[in-house]
Structure 1
Amino acid sequence: MTRILHLDFETRSTVDLRKSGVYRYAEDATTDVWCACFAVDEEPVEVWTPGQAVPEAWVRACAEGWEIHAHNAQFERVVVTRLLAPRYGWPVPRLEQWHCTAAMAAAMAIPRSLEEALRVMGVPVQKDMEGARLMMQMARPRKPTKDHPGLRWWDEPAKVERLIAYCKVDVEGERALGLRLRRLSPEERAVYLHDQLINDRGIKLDLGLVHAARELTANAQAMLNKELEEATSGWVAAATKAKDLTAWLAAEGIEADSVAKAAVRSMLADPDTPDIVRRALEIRQEAAKSSTAKLSAMLHAVCADERVRGLLLYHGAGTGRWSGKLVQPQNFPRASAKEDVIQFILQCADAALVSMMLGAPLAIVASLLRPCLIAAEGHDLVAADYSNIEGRVTAWLAGETWKLQAFRDYDTITGYTPDGKAERKGLDLYVLAYARSFSLDPAEVDDQKRQVGKVMELSMGFQGGVGAFQNMAANYGVKVPDEEADRLKRAWRDAHPAVVQMWRDLEAAALEAVRNPGAVVRCLRGRIAFRVKGGFLWMVLPSGRPLAYASPKVERAEMPWTEEAWVPCETEGKAFFLYGDAMLEYDAERRRALVEQPAMKEAVTFWGQDSKTRKWSKQKGYGGLWTENAVQATARDVMTNGMKQAEDAGYPVVLTVHDEVVTEPPDGHGSVQEFEAIMCNLPAWAAGLPVAAAGWRGKRYRK
């Protein structure tokens, strides 16, 4: 039986770990280890401090291939590799030996933090919060004083001993937690190890462009502040002076409680806003672009070799999708500056000249963020983005046959125009969705209707209603009254009967599984299964990977009123809708009377992290939620399959951004067409799923 070594470190540095990430942190000369606490299997916790010999247990663990467990194991692993090995002679274990209890918790939709995971899983060992406060203090140097201006640490023996005691408790807690968590399956463990490899590689920064963009940002903000001061007759000296701007607005007859983003947008949308006020608000809006803060994030995190690492968080969402860290490339602006613009900025960061030649300087800065990520010398970036993968998976799971065929037809290229644009057998899906919803000839769907069709497609697949449509519509400049949004919703559902049925089938299967613990309840032609086991509801995906929902129950719960299905009367042609557990004849006045009232119905409740507050709280399951989880998780499994095949074919993955995979092969290796084909080579479990990917190759990251 393989032995397990449980490990935790306490460290110190002048570098801010939250901003730098562990890779930059561990390589810094000021970073050091206060102590390492470790335990082998169920043996007592031992302690190592700098100056002592390398622990014999660690030497044996590395030599004999023991498992090494840690909570957020990437931290311990990188500290070993970048600090303890070169400075103190610790041997370096293989990547495959590392196991992360935070990753195991995340795969069960349990909070990643050790404190929260211990509490949620009911582990008797709880986090030492007093010790945690001391740890935060000792992680940073003391403030310099007149008598002691140099670098000093909190190294009093009593504090060090208390910190060691805290570290020991963390080892005991991680060990106890690991016994209660489900281990990653071999397939999922391979994904985790690949994630670690991707984070280790990182991606190179064009530091020259980063610094030029920062200089342009500073110049542009100074220019905007000067203009704002002039526009407000000296009332507001800088766009960051929110109170001063609010006071000036009041003097101009504009009552505003706030000048936050939403309030500024609202005032700018008001046609009665005076021109001078409008310009001041536009300056505030322009100067507040958050994307420019990413330039500072890049410089905080970049390593000595000019690569930025640790940008991905494995299982950042409950569905298994990645989330971003540090630079957060997942929310980069879509715009990507062309090479001529980049070269202009590298030569000139004068905001006035940039404004005259290229446009709003801070918008230009935002378009430089993607190009700041570059290929290393002798390499290219080769990337591919899955096309509407969630819409395709939704249709595939539901068995919406007309739509599956529409995707296949659209993917079939019949030729190319003289300018190289692909000619396709099928129609644009947003055009087709609108046309089918309203029984129109696709030729009647103009650009405006296509945009409405796009919003319908993006907002309604997961049982979205008027609110979901309007939220998505705001992102695409589509404006319709709520009554029209409601009509669009009903038309979309009429055109997608199999998707609507999928919502019902998933909800019914989840309810049946919770009512019958231990029973396997299958639906959607066996592609999805539910089962309650070990205090969790498990949704088993087509890939075989399960999603977890803690402490499931069937309860009567208040649900926001939703028109779940339209059912025509067989004899009288009347329309009905479901309200809670009742089916009522449709009547516009009745609907308006009910729309604000909560409906009581039986639903599966479970405990999980709220997607907005991140707090551990009771959640309510419904057809749209189960659908969203199944679709997004299945899309992720398609992507991880493609990532593995890409790696095997000589395309080293350096980044994933939503449905896009970015690799860094040597110059001349492969082709975009080959890479697209690799990403679309599906496993057996995804047979019949129409996928497509659009790729590119270049020296800079772009959209």
Structure 2
Amino acid sequence: MKEAHLDFETRSTTDLRKSGVYRYAEDPNTRPWGFCYQIGDAPRKRWVMGDAEPTDLLEHIANGGVVTAHNSAFERVIWNFVLRRWYPHWPEIKIEQQDCTMARAAAIAHPQTLDGLGKALHSHEQKDKEGHALMMKMSRPRRFNADGTIVWWDEPHNVDRLMLYCDQDIATEVSTDKLLPPLTDYERQVWRLDQTINERGVPIDVPAVEKAVTLVELAKKSADQEMRRLTGRAVPKCSNDRQIISWINGRGIECTTVAKGEQEDLKFMASLYGDELVRDVIDLRADSKKTSTAKYKAMTECVSADGRIRGMLAYHAASTGRWAGRLVQMQNFPRVDYKKEGYIFEWILDMLDSPMSAKEVFDIMTSVYGESGQQAPLRLLSRMLRACIKAEPGTKLIGGDFSNIEGRVNAWLAGEHWKLAAFREYDNGTGPDLYNLAYARSFGVDINTVTDPQRQIGKVQELALGYQGSVGAYMDMGDNYGVNPYDLTGPVKSAAPAEQWDFTAAQYATANNKNGLQEAEWTALTILVTNWRKANPAIVQSWWDYQDAAVAAVSTPGVIQHVGIIQYYSDGRCLWCILPSGRTLCYAAPEIKTAEVEYICKFTGDTKTRLKNTVYFWGYKEGRWQKMALYGGLQCENIVQAVARDIMVDRMFAVEQAGYPIILTVHDELLSQVRDGLAHLNSKNFQDLMCVNPEWALGLPLTAKAWEDMRYVK
């Protein structure tokens, strides 16, 4: 059957970027200017409100014909929930009959904007940039009159020009549609599940969230007052970074920035000077600037009338196939130890759900916990975000999270047998904690002697170094877990053999990247990296094997290169990585560049040169379609995360089929909402379902932990 391409132009008083399409569609002031469409190879047509019914399109939809669009969820929602207010007899567009060029672009790691995609594919049809500016203007009101009436940009010449722009969008979509490969049958099912999850939505505790918005405002005003007190009114507000920098310099501590990456160094220097005020000011600023607390306001802007937020997942947003968050970005919600702090959050949420005012709640919070420190209002509110997802009456939430799935997949793919055995023994209750084991293997000590601080060192090793990360990666990950590089020098120096310390320290002078560290700190972190790599030789070797396979594949198009159960091949246009599931990762327009590079010989200290072949490809990074270098660690990360995603997808279908409607996936976690009273739907059964290996991943030690609650507590 022929496919129909469809593209809407709309207007509203609601900001689509903040609200998402579902909340946008609920606004009674949202309405279409019109739409353009093309069925098969027939001429493009346009329709505006008041025109005669487009019978050919209506028949196509009613008969189950494919409806293709770029970001097709927008067209479906506008058609079903906005346009059909005026034309309720028109047929509904179903998810199953849609195709999405944006999803297909994402599946081959190409730009997901229509403009960027057209350029990347060298399409003969491109977006109308001049018309885009008019579209942005006409999507919002011109003004609001004193009597509340809305004035739009509805002059006939504006509408005509807008529909010309819409017509060109259809031309560009049709052109890119012909250039893009289709989704596989399996991935089409994944995309449909994604659309279903987005349409279900996530229930939130609306009264608590609305009161939390006011609570955040009160806390920030209070923080500004405290900032004035601490600095003797030299800094009026926590957001005044220039004044804060000047105030710190005035106290004899050199400061050029108070950005996140520099705060620990500044606090360390303040400690050396015995200046607790500087530490307090830095902490106060950090609390006040937390972007996470702004998510309460974001929730109120995109929640639907029924208390659910819809459209929060973006299919295949990462090149590996993983989802990304949209709107309130739940992937960025701070994770907390609910066992330790849950009672605090429950107490605060009970107050937020009560008739008490936000001011009364704030006063009680500060009287109990104070206005600074770990239990300061803004810190508590930041950590409380997850708990604002609340099951609706008569239902409960059941969720599950894979345990260290990336570490397990990396070891499985590389054949790091000791680590696989360690995972299995730990899962069976017969083996030690892996982070203890990581430290013990790094320094050759008895695992029973590993202390909690040493375990934390091992934990950061495991989480930071699996993808060819070095000192910088360890520092970044350590920052997430409270491991300060300045605190590692003593423990590492005492654990490492003296000759290793001296040999490593001797390399400091010629190191290419010292990461801003002094010799002792750099030496300690370099030893941690070196020892982890020695303990994981198979994983380290996999980096080089992946890299060699990519170079070989690009050098000999059409010839498959094997790296264990991973395969690479090039068709001349793209480099493809074939995963164990059969899914592929795409690297567009690959080419090999050979360069002469200098390096320092570790043994002699001499500068030498060698030739290095590197695969470059076109990818989307930092909002730009750009040429990027491929290397073993990046390939390993891509493969591991892609395999973890495929395992997640396999289990998503399993739990759906078992009766658990999924409402969210975050990283390696699934969340469902089920009706009360169904005894067979429980956390134990959910966990068992998650722990079943796909047929293509037999031998992978897979485990998960599940839970059930009224709130999103994991």
Structure 1 and Structure 2 fold alike (TM over 0.5):
yes
Aligned residue in 2 for 1:637: 646
Q: CA distance change for structure 1 residues 99 and 679 in 2, over 3 Å: closer, same or farther?
A: same
Q: Which residue of 2 aligns with 1:571?
A: none
The equivalent residue for 1:410 is 426
1:386-405 alignment runs, 5 A limit: 386-405=402-421
Q: Paired residue for 2:93?
A: 93
1:578-599 CA deviation, whole Å, 9 max, x = no partner?
A: x6xxxx9642745xx78xxx97
2:692 aligned partner: 681
8 Å contact from structure 1 (residues 381, 701) kept in 2: yes
State the partner residue of 1:17.
16
Matched, 1:341 2:351: no
Counterpart of 1:105 in structure 2: which amino acid?
A: A
- Find the partner of 2:367 among 338, 345, 356: 356
Q: Partners in 1 of 2:164 and 2:596 — Cα distance?
A: 47
Across the aligned residues of Structure 1 and Structure 2, the Cα RMSD in angstroms comes to 2.0
TM-superposed CA distance for 1:154, in Å, is 0.1
Partner Cα distance (2:583, 2:121) in 1: 21
Q: Which of 477, 480, 495 matches 1:472?
A: 477
Aligned residue runs from structure 1 range 93-172, under 5 A: 93-144=93-144, 150-172=149-171
Where in structure 2 are the equivalents of 1:16-415 lying within 5 Å? 16-89=15-88, 90-144=90-144, 150-249=149-248, 251-253=250-252, 256-270=255-269, 271=271, 272=273, 274-335=275-336, 337-338=342-343, 339-347=346-354, 349=358, 350=360, 351-358=362-369, 359-412=375-428
Distance 2:426 2:249 in 1: 55
What residue identity is the alignment partner of 2:161? R
Deviation at 1:619, TM superposition (A): 1.1
* Letter aligned with residue 536 of structure 1: C
The worse-fitting range, judged by mean Cα deviation, of 209-218 and 273-282 is 273-282
Aligned to 1:455: 460
TM-score by length of 2: 0.89
- The answer on whether the counterparts of 2:62 and 2:92 sit within 8 Å (CA) in structure 1 is no
Question: Are the equivalent residues in 1 in contact too, given 2:557–2:572 (CA < 8 A)?
Answer: no
For structure 1, which segment, 489-498 or 171-180, has the greater mean C-alpha deviation from structure 2 after superposition? 489-498
Unaligned residue ranges in structure 2 (runs of 5+) = 370-374, 489-520
Provide the secondary structure at the position in 2 that maps to 1:664.
Answer: strand
> What TM-score do the two structures reach when normalised by structure 1?
0.90
Determine the C-alpha separation between the residues in 2 that align with 1:305 and 1:53: 34
Distance 2:200 2:664 in 1: 9
- Give 1:543 shift: 0.2
Distance across 2 between alignment mates of 1:263 and 1:507: 34
Q: Which residue of 2 aligns with 1:419?
A: none
SS in 1 for 2:127: coil
- C-alpha distance in 2, partners of 1:240/1:482? 33
Offset of residue 682 of structure 1: 1.8
User: Structure 1 pair 130/474, CA: closer, same or farther in 2 (3 Å)?
Assistant: same
User: What amino acid is the match of 1:489?
Assistant: V
1:697 corresponds in structure 2 to 708
Letter in 1 for 2:452: D
Counterpart CA distance in 1 for 2:179 and 2:416 is 40
- Displacement of 1:681: 1.5
**TM superposition shift of 1:63:** 2.3
Q: 1:372 to 1:555 in 2, by over 3 A?
A: same
Deviations 1:421-454 (A, max 9, x none): xxx1111111112212332221121111111111
Deviations 1:6-35 (Å, cap 9, x if unpaired)? 010000000000000000001110001011
Quick check: 1:603 aligned with 2:614?
Answer: yes
Residue aligning to 2:511 = none
- Pair 1:372–1:558, CA change in 2 (3 A): farther
Conserved? CA contact 1:213–1:368, under 8 Å: no
Superposition deviation, residue 250 in structure 1: 5.1
Tell me by how many angstroms 1:368 deviates.
Answer: 2.1
Note the 1:606-617 alignment, pairs <5 A: 606-610=617-621, 613-617=622-626
Letter in 2 for 1:453: G
Quick one: distance in 2 between partners of 1:104 and 1:651?
27
Q: 2:553 aligns with which of 513, 536, 540?
A: 513
Distance (Å, rounded) in 2 between the aligned partners of 1:58 and 1:239: 56
- The answer to whether the 8 A contact 1:249-1:256 is kept is yes
Count the aligned residue pairs. 659
The percentage of aligned residue pairs carrying the same residue is 43
Greater mean alpha carbon deviation, residues 311-320 or residues 445-454: 445-454
- Secondary structure class of the residue paired with 2:68: strand
* Deviation by residue 1:505-559 (Cα, 9 ceiling, x = unmatched): 21121111111111122221xx111111260000010000000000111211477
Alignment counterpart, residue 555 of structure 1, candidates 589, 593, 618: 593
Task: Determine the structure 2 residue equivalent to 1:657.
Answer: 666
> Which letter maps to 2:641?
Q
Give me the whole-angstrom Cα distance separating, in 1, the residues matched to 2:262 and 2:462: 29
How far apart are the structure 2 equivalents of 1:534 and 1:183? 19
Tell me the distance in 1 between the aligned counterparts of 2:264 and 2:545: 41
Deviations 1:460-502 (A, max 9, x none): 1111122212221222222232212222222212221211221
Show structure 1 runs of 5+ residues with no match: 413-423, 562-578
Report which stretch shifted further, 387-396 or 285-294.
285-294
